Structure 1
Amino acid sequence: MSVLKLPLLYVGSKGEKHLNTLFDSGANLSCINPEFVDKLGHSESFGRTRLISTASEGHYIEIKDRITLDFYLHDVLLSDEFLVVPGLSEEAIIGAATMQKWRIKLNFEEDTVEVDPKVAKMQMI
């Protein structure tokens, strides 16, 4: 598991906010702390509650809601679905699925997060 943390601007239907964001290759899905959801937009309930496993063996968290948000990484506009996770210790987490989707790479030698230049070009069209 590899992690880096950066402040990112998140934009939703109700507003925008900078959140300290953990880029976590050990987390599959992206998550947001419920404290920030009402300030950003409207969450949507899943049809059924989802149980997400944690790093602790046999421990699960019930997830009932999700929210779709735009976020900016180095002035590149990206978007994804974030699980609303009760008790999340971080403000937001970008997981491996989002990193793959947008070709985000973690550079641990320089402690930076990089966006593939092709993704940046796609956003300019």
Structure 2
Amino acid sequence: MTMEEDEVSTQVPNDILFDFDESELKSDAEETIDELIDEFDQLPDDTIIHINGHTDNVGDEDYNMELSEERAESVLDYIEENSDTSDLQFETFGYGETEPLETEADDEEAERMENRRVEIVINPDENEEN
């Protein structure tokens, strides 16, 4: 988890949430998301939360964009089905391969794995472009 002014961000690696090339949550992912939901219960009303999906650069760029959007939506769907989030404002975004954490080399699986993630951003910077 990182904190920058009022913005709090946490990253969840995709291998915890999803099988490779899938957007359906793994059953083991529920525990991880439940921990986030517990944190959301402490937030004031009207807190803005962005759920951002990211992929690596393997595969078609359009496909990766769609997959990242579907993964962000899957996380939000689980949150909405398993908690009362009516007092919070959620938005999902798919970034595909456009915002890597690591510069990927074709043979560096560890670097590609770091880029496959879902970010949860609480109180995102109002000037952030999405």
TM-score computed with the length of structure 1 as normaliser:
0.26
Between Structure 1 and Structure 2, the one with more helix by share is: 2
Between Structure 1 and Structure 2, the one with more strand by share is: 1
